[in-house]
Chain A
Amino acid sequence: MHQPQLIPHLFRTEYRKIVSVLCRRFGFEQMEVAEDIASDTFLTAAQTWAYKGIPPNPTAWLYNVAKNKAKNHLQRNTVFENKVSPEIKKDEAEDDTWDLDLSPQNINDSQLQMMFAICHPAISPESQIGLSLRILCGFGIDEVAEAFLTSKDTINKRLYRAKEKIRNEKIKIEMPEPAEINARLDNVLTTIYLLFSEGYYSVSQNQVLRKKLCFEAMRLCHILIENQNTNKPPVNALLALMYFHASRFEARTGKNGELILYDDQDINLWDLEMVAKGAWYLNEAAGGSQLSRYHLEAGIAYWNTQKEDTREKWENILQLYNRLLQIAYSPVAALNRTFALAKANGPEAAIIEAEKLNLTGNQFYFTLLGELYTGIDNEKALLNFKKALALIKTEADAQLVQRKISKLMK
């Protein structure tokens, strides 16, 4: 790898590991110090390598430098001497050959614990995603800002407030008690899913960034699966769900970043290897008796990887939505369920159900009604498409509905 790519690449993979391990060692009170040491390590690398060449094992080099910087910091810093040092476990304090444990096991443990700390219920979902991107995924502030379509300044403030909250709430970097893991895991999974959705449904035109967000979310989910305490059915279900979605990533957008609807997608662009991985994790998720929303959503996503329009497919999707809406209602799910109902039970049955949804502020509600009425009552179809048009905000969506209207007018 050439140097221009090497540093960003290492930054992405190693920054978070160094920060997690340091934070776990120092505590959240010293979070900024951990970040400074990690950033400083990369600065040193860039400066040194530019003149002396890239060392044979750059990662080991970075860890070594990070260790030394941490050591120096500890020796110099009086705050540490007075406040943090007494907190550190006795046996460690007595050990004068101070060392930072950057073994793969400790890195994984630290990241896992960091995940639970960041996803603490006291922190707002927005901040959880922001912190996850920065601390767990090693995103630059610029990238976090672009992912949220906001300014660097806003992100800096948000992250600062979140870190303050962590300190004030005295949140610790540790695994929750076994009995508490399930309850806390819910929050962790929600954050991972939000992170994924941020990438998958983002309106940002930056394709590379969007994909990165999705893959980072999947990586975090993998960390949970690798640990036996957190390798639970809903975690596997969520990973399956993300694999199924991600398999269509390339097919979902055209050359200019425009959205390509499911029906118009080129199957050749679907990643079948990811579909297979999704199926594998969905199978893993079948252990136990807990049926989470991720199981149901993964089931739906699985059927969506089967492009053939069979009765079986739509009947299965309908039943999965029937269950999903009972445990996790959302207008999108309600609309999708109605679409599946039309496919499984016929458009007439679906129209009756659709009219009851009454989502009159939602453009997709009227678009769906327009679709359902097309061929049954074209005048009503037209009326609904026009109502949709009045609510639509983007040019691309408007063109789509306009085309449906012109077809009806013929």
Chain B
Amino acid sequence: MDEFVLIFRHEDGTKIASPEQIQVWMKQTMDWIGGIAAQNKFVSGTGLPFADAKIVGHGGVVTNGPFGEIKETIGGFVIVKAESVDEAVEFAKGCPVLQGDGNTVEVRKVAKNDGTH
């Protein structure tokens, strides 16, 4: 079994959603993660708040977010256990982030510290 990180890219949710929508989205996310955990495939994960986001550029230049030219930025990630990238992709498909037009979930294998990479 390998570990995969599912990286969510989406717009700053607080700017586009009403509190009611955020509430719904939160419940969907909790149920989605609960479903992965119920299969004993959840490792860890967290949100990355947009508030206080900084970008440190070349030469130590610090700027505030938002984040240059890109429309979507990383809003959070979870790490799951999966037999294959395909299974990880199946987990990703259930992610509520994908309900937003243009949002993505990137699936990346986590390197093991065992010399196979």
Contacts and interface: CB of A to CB of B under 8 A. Distances in A.
A358 B39 contact: yes
Contacts of A334: 37-40
A325 B34 CA distance: 7
Contact of B35 (A319, A323, A333, A356): A356
Interface stretch (A68-76, A155-163, A337-345): A337-345
B30 interface: yes
* Highest count of chain A CB atoms <10 Å: which of B34, B39, B42: B34
B7 interface: no
Interface string A279-290: 000000000000
Interface string A300-344: 000000000000000000110111011001000110011001000
Nearest to B30: A322
Contacts of A29: none
B40 A322 contact: no
Contacts of A325: 34, 37-38, 40, 42
Contacts of B39: 334, 356-358
Contacts of B40: 325, 329, 334
A255 B27 CA distance: 43
A325 B42 CA distance: 8
B37 A326 contact: yes
Specify the main secondary structure of chain A where it touches its partner.
helix
Contact of A353 (B27, B30, B33, B38): B38
A319 B38 contact: no
Contacts of A318: 31, 34
Nearest to A356: B39
Contact of A319 (B30, B37, B42): B30
Interface string B33-62: 111011110100000000000000000000
Nearest to A352: B35
Contacts of B31: 318, 322, 341, 345
A131 to B, nearest CB: 31
Interface in A151-189: none
Interface residues of B, number: 11
Contacts of B42: 325-326, 329
B49 to A, nearest CB: 18
Contacts of A353: 35, 38
Interface residue range, chain A: 10 to 19
A326 B35 contact: no
A345 B28 CA distance: 10
Contacts of B37: 322, 325-326, 329, 334
Contacts of B27: 319
Contacts of B34: 318-319, 321-323, 325-326, 337, 341
A345 B27 CA distance: 11
A322 B34 CA distance: 4
Contacts of A333: 38
A357 B30 contact: no
Nearest to A315: B27
A353 B30 CA distance: 14
Nearest to A325: B37
Contacts of B38: 321, 325, 329, 333-334, 337-338, 353, 356-357
A298 to B, nearest CB: 18
A356 to B, nearest CB: 6
Contacts of A319: 27, 30, 34
Contacts of B33: 322, 326
A338 B37 CA distance: 11
A71 B68 CA distance: 82
A118 to B, nearest CB: 31
Contacts of A322: 30-31, 33-34, 37
B23 to A, nearest CB: 12
Interface string A193-220: 0000000000000000000000000000
A389 to B, nearest CB: 24
B90 to A, nearest CB: 9
A321 B34 CA distance: 7
Given A329-B42, A356-B39, A357-B39, 20 more contacts: A318-B31, A319-B34, A321-B38, A322-B31, A325-B34, A325-B37, A325-B38, A326-B33, A326-B34, A326-B37, A329-B38, A333-B38, A334-B37, A334-B39, A337-B34, A338-B38, A341-B31, A345-B31, A353-B38, A358-B39
Interface of A: 318-319, 321-323, 325-326, 329, 333-334, 337-338, 341, 345, 353, 356-358
19 contacts: A321-B34, A321-B38, A322-B33, A322-B34, A323-B30, A325-B38, A325-B40, A325-B42, A326-B33, A326-B34, A329-B37, A329-B38, A329-B40, A329-B42, A334-B38, A341-B31, A353-B38, A357-B38, A358-B39
Q: Which 5 A-B pairs have the closest CB atoms?
A: A322-B34, A325-B37, A334-B38, A329-B40, A326-B37
